[in-house]
Chain A
Amino acid sequence: MIEGTVDVLATRYAYALMFVVMGIGMYMMIANENLVKKLIGVNLFQTAIFLFFVAVAFVEGGSSPIVPATENPGELAMASPLPHVIVLTAIVVGIALTAVGLALIVRIYAEYGTLREDTLREVRADE
């Protein structure tokens, strides 16, 4: 049982890491009262997914997915290029999300003068 767990962790550590990072991100999102830190949590959550895709693309002994012009492409062992492209797109989406989120936080700060969610709740309840 323990040996099996160690074995899985040794070979699949990237997946284990991904779920740990994802959990930390999720926890930050829920437990942190600071809105900026919440957004950092969202980012961490997304980054974990990017790591996951990169881990999926890994091929044992494979090179980076750039095909040299001289060699026969059929015989090369390469990492799968598709997940990399996907992750690039997803990173761009993530940046856009962060930008919009930060813009909203700036607006909230300008209106309420606080970044903390519990204070925000009190201020809004008073109105």
Chain B
Amino acid sequence: MSEVAEMLPALLVAVPILLAAVPIVLGLRLERTGWSVAAVTTTALTAATVYLAAAVYETGRVVHVLGGWGETENRPQGVGIELVADEFSVLIALLVTITAAGALAYMRAGGPRGNTFYGGYLLLVGGLLGLSLTGDVFNMFVFLEIVGLATYAMIAAGDGPESAVAALKYLILGTVGASLYLIGVGFLFMATGALNMEVLGEAIPQIAEEGGSDLTLLRAAFAFIFVGFALKVAQWPLHTWQPDAYQHAPDGVTPVIAALVSTVSAYALGRIMYNVFGPEFLTATPYLTEIVVAVGAVSVVAGSTLAVIQRDVKRMFAYSSVSQFGLVVAAYGLVTQTAFVGAVVHLIGHGVMKAGLFIAAGLIAVGYGARTVDEYAGLAKNRPFAAGATALLLIALVGIPPSAGFIGKWYIAVGAVQAEAWTVAAVVFLSTMLTIAYAARLLEKMYFTPATPVESPHPPGPVAADGGEPAGRDSIRRGSPEAVSFGMLAILVTIALSAVVIGFAGGAFFEWLEPFTSEVFTE
């Protein structure tokens, strides 16, 4: 493999973290350089990830051992810290870089401004790439916290004080989640004496066979790690931070957080479950898969039920995330190849669709002044492009073929049938019904309910200053379409179309992940 490709994993993590300081330094002299720095960096990172993906496609895994602490004669594997790019991690890295670059198109006109904000944004991208590429369980904790810290700051960048409260709530719960994961890592280290994922992956089946007190440690480790990630991925009943965080984050930030932060945490859970513990440990431990599946399945039902009763659109999409990640976790618990591919496809598809839906929510709030479901009335007539793209994304989220939502659910359902887990198959069906319930509510408002009368900003006659209706109440004021830039609309339409295109790519995903899954699922 080429030397450039071997350097890339390290550069992908280091470059955005180092460049995070650049907007702040430049900000001392120049104003508003942050966006340009972030745009150039994320575009370059996207190009680098594509190159890395091509290298992985040609030669298989690309491993970078930091500081040249690789395997030598008198130094066993796993002493140095590894960054690993394989089929699974490259896929997530691609999602991270492309979404991060795309969301900037929205932020140019609509997002939070300021050089410090873009410094934090680059830190978030660096942390997410580190989380996807790391091959070491302790470094995963560090990147988890870097992502967390950057996310808390991003959420608190909102205008109102509510965002600070939401960020603090997320900070406390997120820290507990990461700390529980760290205890799990401690137990793993006690049982095996290793932190490298590959070394752990070889040591754990041996211990599982021998049994004894080390096996108990491993089981405790899995329990702590799973609960920690359940908090980070927002599984019911540990999801309570997510709706607040998504609702109160700035409109430009929510797409990035919703599409990436929980997605990459869910990826990390899959990595730990399949690369570190391995399918044999998962199936051999009593009640383990049952509990994972139950947590996922309950999240699906609870999340979508709560989404149905929400009035605020961003909050509704946030609860919908709880349910979609429930599907992914349930699919992880099935331990079949098809369900695993389904979980990965659903992760990526959900990331794309949620990014699109939150961009649509932000765009409509700016351009139409609508934030609650009722205010979406008459949107299709007044803003046909925004409404059309939103409708397309909602239909994709329900899972009407061909769309990203369908293909993921299809693989999960097939995997459930293969594993003879009929409850999961039923839950996939039920989640589709419940998704229709909240998607249809929005579609009906947009297309079939006439717009509520709009009070003109300059009412005829004398302006009532003596206790008359205030002219600019939030519920009836409509934003102007000029506030929506071309970039905002273009990125929304692009994402909506790509949600459909991914729907045709199911087979391609299966083939792409084949080397990874066949290695993990060898019986």
Indicate which residue in B161, B164, B171, B186 contacts A97 across the interface (CB closer than 8 Å). Answer: B171
A86 partner residues in chain B, CB cutoff 8 A: 138
B168 partner residues in chain A, CB cutoff 8 A: 35, 101, 104-105, 108
Q: What's the least CB distance linking A96 to chain B, in Å?
A: 6
Q: What's the least CB distance linking B181 to chain A, in Å?
A: 10
* CB–CB A83/B149 < 8 A: no
Q: Does A60 contact B (CB under 8 A)?
A: no
Q: Does B145 contact A (CB under 8 A)?
A: yes
Q: Does B310 contact A (CB under 8 A)?
A: no
Measured as residues with beta carbon below 8 angstroms from the partner, the interface class of chain A is: 20 to 34
Q: Does B289 contact A (CB under 8 A)?
A: no
A107 partner residues in chain B, CB cutoff 8 A: 156, 161, 164
Q: What's the least CB distance linking B105 to chain A, in Å?
A: 28
Question: Would you list which residues of chain B between 139 and 153 have a CB under 8 Å from chain A?
Answer: 141-142, 145, 148-149, 152-153
* CB–CB B186/A100 < 8 A: no
By CB atoms of chain B within 10 A, which of A49, A104, A112 has the most?
A104
- Contact stretch, chosen from A38-46, A62-70, A71-79: A38-46
* CB–CB A49/B182 < 8 A: yes
- A47–B244 Cα gap in the complex (Å)? 28
Bits for B183-203, please: 1 = Cβ < 8 Å to A, else 0: 100100110000100000000
A101 partner residues in chain B, CB cutoff 8 A: 168, 171-172
* CB–CB B182/A38 < 8 A: no
* CB–CB A42/B176 < 8 A: yes
Q: Does A17 contact B (CB under 8 A)?
A: no
* CB–CB A49/B176 < 8 A: no
Q: Does A16 contact B (CB under 8 A)?
A: no
- A4–B179 Cα gap in the complex (Å)? 30
* CB–CB A111/B149 < 8 A: no
Q: Does B45 contact A (CB under 8 A)?
A: no
| Contact status of A46 and B175, CB under 8 A, knowing A56-B190, A100-B153, A107-B156 | yes
- A113–B182 Cα gap in the complex (Å)? 35
Bits for A72-92, please: 1 = Cβ < 8 Å to B, else 0: 000000000011001001100
Q: Does B167 contact A (CB under 8 A)?
A: yes
Q: What's the least CB distance linking B76 to chain A, in Å?
A: 13
* CB–CB A108/B165 < 8 A: yes
Indicate which residue in A39, A49, A120 contacts B165 across the interface (CB closer than 8 Å). Answer: A120
| Contact status of A53 and B186, CB under 8 A, knowing A96-B149, A107-B161 | yes
Number of interface residues of B (CB under 8 A): 26
| Contact status of A49 and B171, CB under 8 A, knowing A104-B164, A107-B161 | no
* CB–CB B141/A90 < 8 A: yes
- A107–B155 Cα gap in the complex (Å)? 13
* CB–CB A124/B171 < 8 A: no
| Contact status of A93 and B145, CB under 8 A, knowing A49-B186, A52-B186 | yes
| Contact status of A49 and B161, CB under 8 A, knowing A56-B190, A100-B149, A108-B168 | no
A120 partner residues in chain B, CB cutoff 8 A: 165
* CB–CB A108/B164 < 8 A: yes
For B174, the closest partner residue in chain A by CB is: A97
Q: Does A29 contact B (CB under 8 A)?
A: yes
Q: Does B162 contact A (CB under 8 A)?
A: yes
Interface residues of B, dominant DSSP = helix
- A107–B171 Cα gap in the complex (Å)? 14
* CB–CB B156/A97 < 8 A: no
B152 partner residues in chain A, CB cutoff 8 A: 100, 104
* CB–CB A46/B172 < 8 A: no
- A117–B244 Cα gap in the complex (Å)? 16
| Contact status of A104 and B175, CB under 8 A, knowing A49-B183, A49-B186 | no
- A93–B182 Cα gap in the complex (Å)? 12
A124 partner residues in chain B, CB cutoff 8 A: 162, 165
Indicate which residue in B164, B172, B179, B195 contacts A38 across the interface (CB closer than 8 Å). Answer: B172
| Contact status of A104 and B156, CB under 8 A, knowing A52-B186, A90-B141 | yes
B172 partner residues in chain A, CB cutoff 8 A: 29, 38-39, 42, 101
For B79, the closest partner residue in chain A by CB is: A82
| Contact status of A49 and B142, CB under 8 A, knowing A101-B171, A105-B168 | no
A112 partner residues in chain B, CB cutoff 8 A: 161
Indicate which residue in B142, B156, B165, B176 contacts A29 across the interface (CB closer than 8 Å). Answer: B176
For A110, the closest partner residue in chain B by CB is: B161
A26 partner residues in chain B, CB cutoff 8 A: 176
- A38–B168 Cα gap in the complex (Å)? 10
B195 partner residues in chain A, CB cutoff 8 A: 82
For A52, the closest partner residue in chain B by CB is: B186
Indicate which residue in B142, B149, B179, B189 contacts A89 across the interface (CB closer than 8 Å). Answer: B142
A108 partner residues in chain B, CB cutoff 8 A: 161, 164-165, 168
Question: Would you list which residues of chain B between 213 and 242 have a CB under 8 Å from chain A?
Answer: none
- A7–B458 Cα gap in the complex (Å)? 82
- A83–B458 Cα gap in the complex (Å)? 68
- A39–B168 Cα gap in the complex (Å)? 9
Indicate which residue in B141, B161, B182 contacts A111 across the interface (CB closer than 8 Å). Answer: B161
A104 partner residues in chain B, CB cutoff 8 A: 152, 156, 164, 167-168, 171
Given contacts A93-B145, A101-B171, 17 further A-B pairs with CB under 8 A are A35-B168, A39-B172, A42-B172, A42-B175, A45-B175, A49-B179, A49-B182, A56-B189, A82-B189, A97-B148, A100-B153, A100-B171, A104-B168, A105-B168, A108-B161, A108-B164, A108-B165
**Chain A residues with a Cβ under 8 A of chain B:** 26, 29, 35, 38-39, 42, 45-46, 49, 52-53, 56, 82-83, 86, 89-90, 93, 96-97, 100-101, 104-105, 107-108, 111-112, 120, 124
Q: What are 13 A-B contacts with C-beta separation under 8 Å?
A: A42-B176, A49-B183, A82-B195, A86-B138, A93-B145, A96-B145, A97-B175, A101-B172, A104-B152, A104-B156, A108-B161, A112-B161, A124-B165
**Chain B residues with a Cβ under 8 A of chain A:** 138, 141-142, 145, 148-149, 152-153, 156, 161-162, 164-165, 167-168, 171-172, 175-176, 179, 182-183, 186, 189-190, 195
